[in-house]
Chain A
Amino acid sequence: MRKEMLTGNAAAAWGVRLAEVDYIPVYPITPQTEIIETLAKWISDGVMDSRYVTMDSEHSMLTAAGSASATGARAFTATSSQGLLYGFEMLYAVAGWRVPLVMVNVSRGLSSPITLEPDHNDVLAARDTGFLQIHCETCQEVLDSILMAYRLAEDERVLLPIIVNLDGFYLSFTREPVAVPDVEQVRNFLPLYQPKHAFFKASQPMAQSAAVLGGSSYSYFKYQMHMASQNALAVYKEVCDEFETGFGRNYDTIEGYMLDGAEYVLIMTNSFSTLGKAAVNNARERGIKAGLLRLRLVRPFPVADLKAAISRKKAVAVIDQNISIGKGGILHSEIASCLYNEKHRPLLLSFIAGLGGKNISPDEFEFIINKIVTGVDTEDAGTAQLIYTDKEWQEMGRLKRMAGKG
Chain B
Amino acid sequence: MAGNGEIKEDGGKGVKDMVMERIKSIKDIPPEENMLPGTPACAGCGGLLALRHCMKALGRKIVIVNAAGCFTLLTIYPYTPFKNSWLYTAMACAPAGAQGIRDALDILIKKGRLDPEEDLKVVVLTGDGSAYDMSLSSTSGAINRNLDFYYICYDNESYGNTGVQWSGATPFASKTGTTPPGRICPIGSELAKKDLFAIWNSHKPPYLATISPAHPVDLINKFKKAEQYKGPKLFIALSPCPPGWGIDSSYTVKLAKLAVDTGVWALKEAVFGVVTHTVVPKRFKQVEEYLQVQGRFAHLFKPVRQEAALNKIQEEVNEYWNRHKLLL
Seen from chain A, the residues whose Cβ lies within 8 Å of a Cβ on chain B are 22-23, 25, 49-51, 53, 55-57, 59-61, 63-73, 75, 89-90, 93, 192, 200-203, 205-213, 217
15 A-B contact pairs sorted by A residue (CB < 8 Å)? A22-B111, A23-B103, A23-B107, A59-B93, A63-B93, A67-B87, A67-B89, A70-B87, A71-B105, A73-B104, A200-B104, A205-B60, A207-B82, A210-B76, A217-B77
A203 to B106, CA, bound (A): 17
Contact A210/B75 with A53-B103, A72-B114, A202-B61 known, Cβ cut-off 8 Å? yes
1/0 per position for B295-316, CB-CB distance to A under 8 A?
0000000000000000000000
A25 to B99, CA, bound (A): 9
Asked whether, in the complex, the Cβ of B111 is within 8 Å of the Cβ of A211, the reply is: no
Asked whether, in the complex, the Cβ of A57 is within 8 Å of the Cβ of B75, the reply is: no
Asked whether, in the complex, the Cβ of B111 is within 8 Å of the Cβ of A49, the reply is: yes
A201 to B78, CA, bound (A): 19
**Looking at A60, A66, A206, which has the most chain B CB atoms within 10 Å of its CB?**
A60
* Shortest Cβ distance from A20 into B: residue: B111
Contact A205/B84 with A23-B103, A67-B104, A73-B107 known, Cβ cut-off 8 Å? yes
Q: Which residues of A contact B97 (CB under 8 A)?
A: 63-64, 66-67
**Looking at B61, B111, B140, which has the most chain A CB atoms within 10 Å of its CB?**
B111
Q: Which residues of A contact B114 (CB under 8 A)?
A: 72, 201
Q: Is B251 an interface residue (CB 8 A)?
A: no
Instruction: Give chain A nearest CB distance to B204 CB in angstroms.
Output: 18
Q: Which residues of B contact A63 (CB under 8 A)?
A: 89-90, 93, 96-97, 100, 138
Asked whether, in the complex, the Cβ of A53 is within 8 Å of the Cβ of B145, the reply is: yes
Asked whether, in the complex, the Cβ of B96 is within 8 Å of the Cβ of A64, the reply is: yes
Asked whether, in the complex, the Cβ of A209 is within 8 Å of the Cβ of B87, the reply is: yes
Asked whether, in the complex, the Cβ of A207 is within 8 Å of the Cβ of B107, the reply is: no
Name the contact of B118 in the complex, choosing from A22, A57, A203, A211 (C-beta under 8 A).
Answer: A203
Instruction: Give chain B nearest CB distance to A83 CB in angstroms.
Output: 14
Instruction: Give chain B nearest CB distance to A403 CB in angstroms.
Output: 36
Asked whether, in the complex, the Cβ of A210 is within 8 Å of the Cβ of B90, the reply is: no
Q: Is B73 an interface residue (CB 8 A)?
A: yes
Q: Which residues of A contact B117 (CB under 8 A)?
A: 202-203
Secondary structure of the A contact surface, majority rule: mixed
Seen from chain B, the residues whose Cβ lies within 8 Å of a Cβ on chain A are 60-61, 63, 65, 72-73, 75-78, 80, 82-90, 92-93, 95-101, 103-108, 111, 113-115, 117-120, 137-138, 140-141, 145
A53 to B107, CA, bound (A): 12
Name the contact of A202 in the complex, choosing from B86, B89, B92, B120 (C-beta under 8 A).
Answer: B120
A22 to B107, CA, bound (A): 7
* Shortest Cβ distance from A203 into B: residue: B118
Asked whether, in the complex, the Cβ of B103 is within 8 Å of the Cβ of A59, the reply is: no
Name the contact of B99 in the complex, choosing from A64, A72, A205, A207 (C-beta under 8 A).
Answer: A64
Q: A55-B141, A206-B85, A210-B80 are in contact. List 10 more A-B contacts (CB 8 A).
A: A25-B103, A56-B140, A57-B137, A60-B95, A69-B104, A72-B108, A200-B105, A200-B120, A210-B75, A212-B76
Instruction: Give chain A nearest CB distance to B106 CB in angstroms.
Output: 7
Asked whether, in the complex, the Cβ of B87 is within 8 Å of the Cβ of A60, the reply is: no
Q: Which residues of A contact B137 (CB under 8 A)?
A: 56-57, 60
Instruction: Give chain A nearest CB distance to B190 CB in angstroms.
Output: 30
Asked whether, in the complex, the Cβ of B75 is within 8 Å of the Cβ of A211, the reply is: yes
Q: Which residues of B contact A60 (CB under 8 A)?
A: 92-93, 95-96, 99, 137-138, 141
Asked whether, in the complex, the Cβ of A208 is within 8 Å of the Cβ of B99, the reply is: no
A75 to B101, CA, bound (A): 11
A49 to B118, CA, bound (A): 21
* Shortest Cβ distance from B119 into A: residue: A202
* Shortest Cβ distance from B122 into A: residue: A200
A64 to B102, CA, bound (A): 9
Q: Which residues of A contact B99 (CB under 8 A)?
A: 25, 53, 55, 60, 64, 67
Name the contact of B141 in the complex, choosing from A56, A65, A72 (C-beta under 8 A).
Answer: A56
A73 to B120, CA, bound (A): 15
Asked whether, in the complex, the Cβ of A211 is within 8 Å of the Cβ of B107, the reply is: no
Instruction: Give chain A nearest CB distance to B13 CB in angstroms.
Output: 20
Asked whether, in the complex, the Cβ of A210 is within 8 Å of the Cβ of B89, the reply is: no
Instruction: Give chain A nearest CB distance to B50 CB in angstroms.
Output: 21
A200 to B105, CA, bound (A): 8
**Looking at B75, B98, B100, B117, which has the most chain A CB atoms within 10 Å of its CB?**
B100
Name the contact of A25 in the complex, choosing from B80, B87, B100 (C-beta under 8 A).
Answer: B100
Asked whether, in the complex, the Cβ of A210 is within 8 Å of the Cβ of B145, the reply is: no
Asked whether, in the complex, the Cβ of B73 is within 8 Å of the Cβ of A211, the reply is: yes
* Shortest Cβ distance from B40 into A: residue: A213
Asked whether, in the complex, the Cβ of B100 is within 8 Å of the Cβ of A75, the reply is: yes
* Shortest Cβ distance from B147 into A: residue: A53
A244 to B126, CA, bound (A): 48
Asked whether, in the complex, the Cβ of B80 is within 8 Å of the Cβ of A201, the reply is: no
**Looking at A56, A61, A207, which has the most chain B CB atoms within 10 Å of its CB?**
A207
Contact A207/B138 with A55-B96, A67-B97, A202-B118 known, Cβ cut-off 8 Å? no
Q: Which residues of B contact A210 (CB under 8 A)?
A: 75-78, 80, 86, 88
Name the contact of B103 in the complex, choosing from A51, A200, A207 (C-beta under 8 A).
Answer: A51
Q: Which residues of B contact A90 (CB under 8 A)?
A: 89-90, 93
Q: Which residues of A contact B118 (CB under 8 A)?
A: 201-203
A67 to B65, CA, bound (A): 9
Instruction: Give chain B nearest CB distance to A318 CB in angstroms.
Output: 35
* Shortest Cβ distance from B59 into A: residue: A202
Q: Which residues of B contact A205 (CB under 8 A)?
A: 60, 82-85
A60 to B118, CA, bound (A): 25
A55 to B96, CA, bound (A): 8
Asked whether, in the complex, the Cβ of A71 is within 8 Å of the Cβ of B83, the reply is: no
Instruction: Give chain B nearest CB distance to A287 CB in angstroms.
Output: 57
Q: Which residues of B contact A192 (CB under 8 A)?
A: 113
Q: Which residues of B contact A202 (CB under 8 A)?
A: 60-61, 117-120
Instruction: Give chain B nearest CB distance to A296 CB in angstroms.
Output: 30
A207 to B98, CA, bound (A): 14
